[in-house]
Amino acid sequence: MGLSKKGVMHAIYSNQKSNIRLEPIRKKSTYLKDDVYHTLKNAILVGSLKYGQRITLTEISQILEVSRTPVRDAVTRLEAENLVQSTNKKGILIIGISPKDLRDIFEIRLFLETNAATDVCKKRTKSDLEKLSKLNQAMQNAQIEGNAEKYQFYDDAFHYFLYKVSNKINLYVLLNSLMEYCSFFRSTDNFENMALIKQDLQDHLQLVEAIRARNKHVARKIVEVHLLRLRDALIKDYSDKQYSRLQ
């Protein structure tokens, strides 16, 4: 059976456009423009669309199987975030994020999450400790199973729960936005750096014990070391695999 016109277009795009991986949006929601935006943003952050590559609105709309209108809206939003640059004659230039961007992101995360850890030490309850312990156990189980997606889900849930306990909901929303930019490291479908994974698990266990003891100074230090290690790993991955503009 031959490929449809769209199927042929997708095959040509995947094979001839520097192995860029974009798939049609199969499950379209009521907010199609948001679907397109998140699809393109994720493709940029995980390296499917790489720094320096060019693509046109028509190509995007054909591959995603949507009209040009939501694509145009998504590109405008991505350009405002400095992830792409529109060029009238040659389409869209992929910019992505740089090691400097990651350093800036983690500088903000360090401030927010160390302060959240301090607040959690003051406000935590017995049930909060039980919840954090369960999230840690879920991460360990996912690591044993070799399920990176599940591991990251519970890892994110652990960090988010700290914000919930600290009763800083607005900062929780901000954290969610910042963590999205770290999705390349989280998107890997295997555990390439097992030593780092095991150390992260150990950090979480030690953090729960510091929170249990209400030792805010130790809790802050654990969070600081944990985030700096993740930052350095992210920067190394971006640099080694050239998924960003190097600075």
pLDDT < 50 positions in the chain: 1-19, 188-189, 243-247
Residues 46-62: b if buried by 16+ CB within 10 A, e if exposed: bbbbbbebbbebebbbb
Q: Which fold has domain 99-241?
A: Four Helix Bundle (Hemerythrin (Met), subunit A) (1.20.120)
CB count within 10 Å of CB 74 equals 25
pLDDT at 192: 67
Helix (H, G, I), strand (E, B) or coil at 74: helix
What pairs with residue 85 in β-bridges?
93
pLDDT at 187: 52
pLDDT at 241: 58
**186/156 Cα distance (integer angstroms):** 10
Q: What phi and psi values does residue 171 have, to the nearest 5 degrees?
A: -70, -30
Please state, in angstroms and as integers, the Cα–Cα distance from residue 124 to each residue in 158, 172, 211, 229, following that order: 14, 17, 8, 26
Return the DSSP state at 70.
Answer: H
* 179 within 8 A of 156, measured Cβ to Cβ: yes
Please tell me the pTM assigned to this model.
Answer: 0.74
pLDDT at 139: 94
CATH class of 5-94: mainly alpha
**What is the domain partition of the chain in residue ranges?**
5-94, 99-241
Please state, in angstroms and as integers, the Cα–Cα distance from residue 241 to each residue in 31, 88, 129, 178, following that order: 33, 29, 39, 22
Helices (H), the chain: 5-16, 32-45, 57-64, 68-80, 99-123, 126-145, 148-166, 169-180, 183-187, 194-212, 216-241
Return the DSSP state at 167.
Answer: T
